[in-house]
Amino acid sequence: MPPVIYLKIAGRVQGVNLRYRAQRRAQQENLGGWIQNEPDGTVTCCLQGSAAGIDGFIDWLKRNFEIQSLEKSTAESAEQFNNFIVKC
């Protein structure tokens, strides 16, 4: 299975339609995974797909939202994500 990239995104990221716009962008980049708001005001995103697609997604985030910090980590996954969903 391809590795999974986790993003922890802080800044003005809740209440700005980020999750639904990110879902559309992830689909354009052929990425699987999910995105969700966190109680601390951040957004967590799990991505699986090509390195170019993930890099494009991250660049898009930085250009379109007021991001103060973006932490990126990689993990092995036994799960294959076939689509990208918004978690509540």
Q: Kindly tell me if the per-residue pLDDT of 1 is higher than 80.
A: no
Q: What does the block give as tokens for 69?
A: 């910090």
pLDDT digits (tens, 9 = 90+) for 12-27: 999 999 999 999 999 9
Which pLDDT score, from 0 to 100, does residue 3 have?
84
4, 47 Cβ separation under 8 angstroms: yes
Architecture of the domain made up of 4-87:
2-Layer Sandwich (3.30)
pLDDT digits (tens, 9 = 90+) for 49-62: 999 999 999 999 99
Q: Is 43 exposed, middle or buried (0-12, 13-18, 19+ CB in 10 A)?
A: buried
CA-to-CA distance for 44 and 55, rounded, in angstroms? 16
46, 4 Cβ separation under 8 angstroms: yes
Q: Which residues are catalytic?
A: 19, 37
Q: How confident is the model at residue 77 (pLDDT cuts 50, 70, 90)?
A: confident
| Helix or strand (DSSP H, E) at 25 | helix 18-28
Q: Kindly tell me if the per-residue pLDDT of 85 is higher than 80.
A: yes
